[in-house]
Structure 1
Amino acid sequence: MSDQNNGFPDFFYVTGPLPYKVTPLAFGDKTCWKLTLETSDKPQEQENPQLEPYLDNDDDLIDCMDMEETHNITYTKSGKFQTSMYVPSSLFSFIIGAKGSKLKALQNSTNTSIKVPRINEKGDIIIEGNTERQVASAKTQIDIIIAQGKERMPPTHFVSIPIKSDMISSNLLKFKKSVLEQPARGITESIFQKDVKMHLTVVMLKLLDEGEVTRAINILQSCYANHISKIFEKPQKAIIQGLEIMNDDPSNVNVLYAEVKIQNPEKLQTMCDTIANYFNKAGLAKKEYDRVKLHMTVMNKSFRHESEQKMSFDASKILESHKDFYFGEFELNQLDLCIRGTTTSNTGEMKYYDTALTIQL
């Protein structure tokens, strides 16, 4: 069963006393569902159709009534409906497909004209159709394609709290030396964190061009002005002590980390959760957990050299002998928007990450 005149492509249908169609609408890391009843006494097409209100299916999802302006569809002098949308050029290939096949199929299924800038060319994607429904449908599908494309790309940046402490650096080296004296399965020097890179990760980001980097800078500055500055009125002291693993089996570990202790832990947690939520809502980060898990990575199998197999390691003895290991104290006084892959200097020496933005707390 399908309706060729409503401007929406086929997603899926369920027949019953009242046939209806459910359409998934993805925005950032949220998904909403639009329910459309297809009754025989209801006109299938109106002369000047309006977008119907969206239905929210869960308290954890965004309020779809807030999406009313996201399509921003206008009526042109030529009698067409039109909208424009910004998409990083690195995602154009996901929309266009091989020899333009995906773009053609999208235009045919939505009865729209979609103009995509050329690769490495700046500009918005322009969608034009005979009805608002057609234009909204095409934009929704492109939003879904963008979200799927971003899923396949690695993070490019992250917000972090740098750990600058001679004591912690020294104790990290002492810890490494102690563990390497009698290394268990899978433990090599390469999987230990470098002391110059010590930090607490707040949220991982995928920023695909300079426009998104600028957005991220503005978002973090706005978050600081509206929330963080009121939470942290002055720098705080924090302690790095105690070891934990990311899984339940200490003999088969991917990540070993040290815990963060602070006098007002809820303040720190609130700050980090607020930052993560800002970027989640902006579609620049994916929400993976309800709360940010603050930790200092000590050992990680992903740190292994390219020539090494990315195998797990046995941390059983480490947790027995170093469970409450004290690394030291540092001052929590800075937020960085870090650029991944920038920890090697021009001379080949290891260094801290380059930053797109630094905020003093």
Structure 2
Amino acid sequence: MGGRKKRVVIDDHSNKQKAMTSIWRPVSTNASSCEESLLTAATVESKDGDRVQEVGCSTSGTISNEYDMKVAAESIDENTESAASSSQLQGDVENKVLGDSSLSTEKHSISVQVGASLFRFIKGKGGFTQKKIEEETKVKIIFPSSKEDEFITIEGISIDSVTSASEKIQAIIDEAVRSRSLDYSHLVSLPLAIHPELVSKLINFQHTILGNDDSSIDENLDTDSNEAEDINDNKEVDQLSKKKADVAVELKVDDDRKSVKVNPTSIPLVSYAPKASKAPTSSDLGIEKSIFIKPKTFHLTVLMLKLWNKDRVKTATEVLQSISSEVMEALDNRPVSIRLKGLECMKGSLAKARVLYAPVEEIGSEGRLLRASQVIIDAYVKAGLVLESDAKQGLKLHATLMNARHRKRTKQKRNDVSFDARNIFKQYGSEDWGEYLIREAHLSKRFSFDENGYYHCCASIPFPENMQVE
């Protein structure tokens, strides 16, 4: 919108001199922003038209239309006062704009401890979940650049928006923790890999089941063998097609319908020689090295835990250390040993097994090891570190030998596909694995290992190794 021009004629009654005065007037506008200004021009001219000058003045668009145009032909001093009044008005408007700007840019933010393992659930696939939360609550979610930092920052224009976003994030965390998508990060274990003779037996067990060529067994072998079979099939078809190239086929052409009729009775049947059957390999049975428990991590499992941030790990460490004396009392301050004998299938049938383990029998059958294990479980439940579903399950000490969930994922197979354990049971169904002393309980971190190959130890408490003499 441009400025308006108003020609003003001033009578000089004295006719002695020609006076020129700059005129300022506010103009009413409908501009939506107070930052927008208009330029109003006034033209001052003497009566005889000898001298004309236009004067422009900037004014705010928020000035009310109640102002009327005032034209005055006064002295130069009066004109100066008018200009000063204009400048003061402009200053008042500018101060108001600046004040409003400072209020609109006010931000609120909070930091929330989440844990690096949960970031992917908050982001979602392709960042979809994060974007949805940001759009719904008008906030910005900032993830840390360092892998060691477990906090995310939520920034918003109001406390309500930030609070709403944090509640949505907490709901996502709760759901992720309850689901199988977030794997267990820690476990309370009773190490058995500290016994070298048992580790040797487990290595021999794997070599026997996998065969002498176990090093060549790999998840990619299935793909290679299938491709080889496809190539052989194609070669046989080509050879047969060459031998039967002179097959007679009767064709009749109907000119009206422009079609070809084939009489299939004149085409001889082709028979294929049956392929020689071969004994199934370990891979054919769903057995591969990845589903065996690593001998150097062999253990009894007391409790599985999901500790997704450093604070929970610290709490879990303190809990185990605080109950050392109670565990000793449950063991009657005496050493406890176990016997491993035979095999059992935990999930599925022998033909479609998922977990294969060696049953645990406490030497003396006093139940001291079970009581000590229950003391540990109860302490973690009380500390709020155990999932509700896990807390309801009864304790069954077992030594897992094979687990289908550990299978490496491939394009051809899911990672939890079952395996055929019937031949394994024929060989090891009554195997005596030996008797072993339980020396300690560990808070072990999964997927992280020490120099001996066992799980990284976050905390441990000793078990009695010698009989106390009164």
Would the TM-score normalized by the shorter structure come out above 0.5?
yes
Inter-partner Cα distance in structure 2 for 1:247 and 1:281 = 30
Name 2:74's counterpart in structure 1.
Answer: none
Measure how far apart 1:257 and its partner are. 0.5
The structure that has the greater radius of gyration is 2
Q: How many residues end up aligned between the 2 structures?
A: 263
Query: Which residue of 1 is the match for residue 299 of structure 2?
Result: 199
Residue 347 of structure 2 aligns with which residue? 247
Tell me how far 1:264 sits from its aligned partner: 3.5
SS in 2 for 1:246: strand
**Partner of 1:224 in structure 2?**
324
**Separation of aligned partners in 2, 1:191 and 1:99:** 36
Q: Secondary structure at the match of 2:381?
A: helix
How has the CA–CA distance of structure 1 residues 95 and 168 changed in structure 2, closer, same or farther, with 3 Å as cutoff?
A: closer
- In structure 2, relative to structure 1, the CA distance for the partners of 1:143 and 1:267 (3 Å cut) is farther
Hey, what does 1:321 align to over in structure 2?
Answer: 427
TM superposition shift of 1:123:
7.6
Aligned residue for 1:342, secondary structure, equals strand
- The aligned residue for residue 26 of structure 1 is none
Summarize deviations over 1:121-179 as a string: whole Å, max 9, x none: 678999x999xxxx9x9999876543213234222111100002223222223333443
Deviations 1:48-69 (A, max 9, x none): xxxxxxxxxxxxxxxxxxxxxx
Give the secondary structure class of the aligned counterpart of 2:286.
coil
With structure 1 as the length reference, what TM-score do the two structures score?
Answer: 0.59
**8 Å contact from structure 2 (residues 360, 398) kept in 1:** yes
Aligned counterpart for 2:310 among listed residues 210, 232, 240: 210
Quick one: distance in 1 between partners of 2:130 and 2:151?
A: 21
CA change 1:245–1:145 in 2 (3 A) is same
Equivalence map 1:145-164=2 (5 Å): 145-150=172-177, 151=179, 152-163=181-192, 164=194
Percent identity of paired positions between Structure 1 and Structure 2: 29
Q: 1:85 to 1:271 in 2, by over 3 A?
A: farther
Query: Using a 3 Å threshold, how does the CA distance of structure 1 residues 90 and 180 change in structure 2: closer, same or farther?
Result: closer
Q: Is the contact between residue 446 and residue 455 of structure 2 (CA under 8 Å) also seen in structure 1?
A: yes
- C-alpha spacing 1:359/1:327, structure 2 compared with 1 (3 Å): same
Deviation at 1:116, TM superposition (A): 9.1
Partner of 2:201: 171
CA 1:142 to 1:88, structure 2 compared with 1: closer, same or farther past 3 Å? same
Offset at residue 284 of structure 1 (A) = 2.5
Equivalent residue number for residue 295 of structure 1: 398
The C-alpha deviation readout for 1:4-23, integer Å capped at 9, x for no partner, is xxxxxxxxxxxxxxxxxxxx
Amino acid in structure 2 at the alignment position of 1:300: N
Contact 2:344 2:359 in 1 (8 A): yes
For 1:194 and 1:92, locate their aligned partners in 2 and report how far apart those are by CA, in whole Å: 29
Structure 2 CA distance for partners of 1:86 and 1:115, relative to 1, 3 Å: farther
Change (3 A) 1:172 1:115: same
Q: Contact 1:167 / 1:327 at 8 angstroms: preserved in 2?
A: no
Q: What do the CA deviations read for 1:322-356 (whole angstroms, capped 9, x no partner)?
A: 222111121111111111112386xxxx8111111
Larger RCO (CA within 8 A; separation ≥ 6): 1
Alignment match, 1:41 = none
Q: In the alignment, residue 357 of structure 1 is paired with which amino acid? A: A
In structure 2, C-alpha distance between the alignment counterparts of 1:118 and 1:359, rounded to whole Å = 37
Aligned alpha-carbon RMSD (Å): 3.9
Aligned-residue offset at 1:246: 1.2
Distance 1:168 1:116, change over 3 A: same
Structure 1 unpaired stretches of 5+: 1-83, 109-113
Code of the aligned partner of 1:174 = N
In structure 2, how many angstroms separate the alpha carbons of the residues matched to 1:189 and 1:339? 22
Q: Any conservation in 2 of the 1:342–1:353 contact (CA below 8 Å)?
A: yes
For residues 96-141 of structure 1, give each alpha carbon's deviation from its aligned partner in whole angstroms, at most 9, with x where no partner exists: 9845754886x89xxxxx9999757678999x999xxxx9x99998
> Counterpart of 1:171 in structure 2: which amino acid?
K
The residue number in structure 2 matching 1:335 is: 441
Answer whether contact 2:450 2:456 (CA < 8 A) is retained.
Answer: no
- Give SS of 2:343's match: strand
Larger helix fraction of residues: 2
Please name the residue that 1:264 is paired with: 365
Query: 1:276-315 alignment to 2 at 5 Å?
Result: 276-286=377-387, 287-288=389-390, 289-306=392-409, 309=413, 310=415, 311-315=417-421
Equivalences for 1:1-361 in 2 at 5 Å?
Answer: 88=115, 91=118, 98=129, 102=133, 119=144, 144-150=171-177, 151=179, 152-163=181-192, 164-181=194-211, 185-225=285-325, 227-232=326-331, 233-262=333-362, 263-264=364-365, 266-286=367-387, 287-288=389-390, 289-306=392-409, 309=413, 310=415, 311-343=417-449, 351-361=453-463
Describe the SS at the equivalent of 2:397: coil
